[in-house]
Amino acid sequence: MNRRISLGDSNNALTKLIAINLILFITLSLCKAYFYFFYQDLSVLESTYRESILKWFLLPASPSALLSRPWTLLTFPFANLGIWMIIGNMLWLWAFGFIFQDLSGNRKIVPLYLYGAWAGGLAFILTAHFFPSSLATAGYMGSSAAVMAIAIATTVLTPNYRLMPDLMGGIPLWILTGFYVLMSIATKPLHQPISYLPLLAGGFTGFIFMTLIRRGIDTSEWMNNVVDWVNNLFNPAGTKQTRIPLREQLFYKATRRPYKKTPHLTESRVDEILDKISAKGLGSLTEEEREILNRASKS
């Protein structure tokens, strides 16, 4: 039985991903709104905002610029520019991410999200090198490639999953995924590969991720181990915690046993114990055999 993960669950990785996207979007929007008090010309405002604020969050097309701003590898997957961009990406992330997390648990969706975003970023850098355009100078940002990775991985995981099953048997998940892929690519300028190749790279990453999982190779494990190590590093009490057996967590905490088994006393059983003493000595008896012998001596 699959465990449903609620919106308020502290272990809900999907909710955390959406929250990070929204927080960064609001932060960047407030920074841009601040510039409206100083610049009346919109073109000057945009260029100043990009140069002063946005470039520190975007993935640059130049590898040398990336080396000078390596932290952008962790910021560009969550930096969505524009209200429609953030709304669209978060709705699709919730639609596919909820199914994926419900079926695979909450320790795989964040690594998959980052893998998809990084694959899209790598495709952007390579495409910008071979197909230079004005889009390359602006840098790369957004969660589109990451969402595409989750969408494809979810479909590979459960292609026959039905949406709204009470409505004429439901809609197969692969149909929704196909619509999402076509819509995502069709809305991009097809004459500029730099606009849609990162999406395809993200989708291919999701396919590879699930293919490796089916073969017993979990590429998310190392990332989760690093996160666990960091959490324990900043939580000294956590490193001293030991795993408490389930028996001690739930029951068997009384000072005496709730039930004590009484060995069955028979003449043949007593004879077997006496023969064992003769052959191996009194020290070879078990606790149960000692109890039987004690009861026999009293009777």
Q: What's the pLDDT at 167? A: 72
Helix residue ranges per DSSP H, the chain: 13-35, 42-52, 63-68, 72-75, 83-104, 109-130, 134-138, 144-157, 173-186, 197-214, 221-233, 236-240, 246-250, 267-280, 287-298
DSSP states of 154-184 as a string? HHHH-TT-EESTTTTT-EEHHHHHHHHHHHH
- How far is the C-alpha of 6 from the C-alpha of 4, rounded, in Å? 6
Q: Is the dihedral of CA 71, 116, 2, 247 positive or negative?
A: negative
CATH of the domain spanning 13-239? 1.20.1540.10
For the chain, the domains span 13-239, 267-298
Model confidence at 201, pLDDT cuts 50, 70, 90, reads: very high
What is the per-residue pLDDT across 143-192, written as a single tens digit (0 to 9) for each?
999 999 999 999 999 888 888 777 777 788 889 999 999 999 888 887 77
Averaged pLDDT, 24-38: 89
